[in-house]
């Protein structure tokens, strides 16, 4: 079973955001017991693309994150929260 993983993105630069998201992608992939090659095949992309997603080398679209979540059998939750 995949454990909950999340990151709160607020007032961070783009590079930091991509790094945090990449770390999450790697975490859920490993928890789903998938190699980068297996995830790449399921996404229809090259292994190098998955590697770049996980290591901040490439921006990722929201619908691609949703596909990764589906493949890894986790929910993708996106939302906004008002600051107190």
Q: Map out the domains of the chain with their CATH numbers.
A: 1-84 (1.10.260.40)
Report the 10 Å Cβ neighbour count for 70: 12
d(CA 70, CA 84): 33
On average, the pLDDT of the chain sits at: 86
Distances (CA, A) of 7 to 1, 10, 43: 19, 10, 23
- Which stretch of DSSP H or E encloses residue 76? none
pLDDT tens string, the chain, 84 residues long: the values are 555 565 556 556 677 788 888 999 999 999 999 999 999 999 999 999 999 999 987 889 999 999 999 999 998 887 777 777
Q: Which pLDDT tens digit goes with each residue over 9-30? A: 655 667 778 888 899 999 999 9
Phi, psi of 83 (to 5 degrees): -75, 140
The pTM of this model reads 0.81
Measured between alpha carbons, how far is residue 17 from residues 24, 46, 55, 78 in Å? 11, 23, 12, 14
pLDDT of residue 3: 59
């Amino acid at each position: 079973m995949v454990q909950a993983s999340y990151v709160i993105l607020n007032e961070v630069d783009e590079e930091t955001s991509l790094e945090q998201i990449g770390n999450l992608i790697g975490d859920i992939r490993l928890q789903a017991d998938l190699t980068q090659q297996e995830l790449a095949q399921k996404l229809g992309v090259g292994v190098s693309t998955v590697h770049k997603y996980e290591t901040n080398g490439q921006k990722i679209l929201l619908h691609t994150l949703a596909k990764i979540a589906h493949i890894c059998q986790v929910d993708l939750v996106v939302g906004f929260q008002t600051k107190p």
